A and B are shown apart, each in its own frame.
Chain A
Amino acid sequence: GDSVTQMEGPVTLSEEAFLTINCTYTATGYPSLFWYVQYPGEGLQLLLKATKADDKGSNKGFEATYRKETTSFHLEKGSVQVSDSAVYFCALTAGNMLTFGGGTRLMVKP
């Protein structure tokens, strides 16, 4: 079945550091890929998405590129802020069901 694997956290960075959170997937067919973010005390929010190979999703300074050859969708940001502290979930859908990774907690220190 479909699955998503994320790097384990927590990831602790200083403000303005470069962020990479790795995500790889296994799926039959051609999935759409997503990053969701969960801020403390809040619900999951869609951060960005890509629906086909080589697409780049971007939002709020975050980027991820759909790499079919490496089955990856790594999340990057050039300069993180304290307000980016949250849990990040990589997810895919190849039909009408979202399959999530286990989540990566990011902590940004001032």
Chain B
Amino acid sequence: EAGVAQSPRYKIIEKRQSVAFWCNPISGHATLYWYQQILGQGPKLLIQFQNNGVVDDSQLPKDRFSAERLKGVDSTLKIQPAKLEDSAVYLCASSLDGLEVGYEQFFGPGTRLTVL
């Protein structure tokens, strides 16, 4: 079974530029998550999708971050414009049904973003 795919793996941009990350979840997984992991910290949830609808985006900085999952499969996360403090690893995860407690989340390898 293929895992969660993410691209690119690394990205370096200058502040005020825009950047986009792509995620393809495990086939059949209804729930998709984007996390931000700052160096030395645990991952923090940015947004959760159930199929193509948003379940929770309470911690997404909506003035600069946006995410979509138009067909309920793959997803993109965009930052525009980027700030220095956005430097982090962006993790995508998926699960069969995130609304049921106990369903395991499977994580992709992440995209490491450096903002100069």
Kindly identify which residue among B31, B43, B109 contacts A100, using a CB–CB cutoff of 8 Å.
B43
Interface string of A81-99 (1 = CB under 8 A from B): 0000000010101111110
Q: Does B42 contact A (CB under 8 A)?
A: yes
Q: Which of A11-19, A39-47, A63-71 has 4 or more CB atoms under 8 Å from chain B? A: A39-47
Q: Give the number of residue pairs across the A-B interface with Cβ within 8 Å.
A: 54
Q: Judge whether B105 and A98 touch: CB under 8 Å.
A: yes
Name the distance in Å between B54's Cβ and chain A's nearest Cβ.
Answer: 12
29 contacts between A and B (CB under 8 A): A4-B42, A32-B101, A42-B109, A43-B3, A43-B4, A43-B91, A43-B107, A43-B109, A44-B107, A45-B107, A46-B104, A49-B102, A89-B43, A94-B101, A95-B101, A96-B48, A96-B55, A96-B98, A96-B101, A97-B45, A97-B56, A98-B33, A98-B43, A98-B45, A100-B43, A100-B44, A102-B40, A102-B42, A103-B40
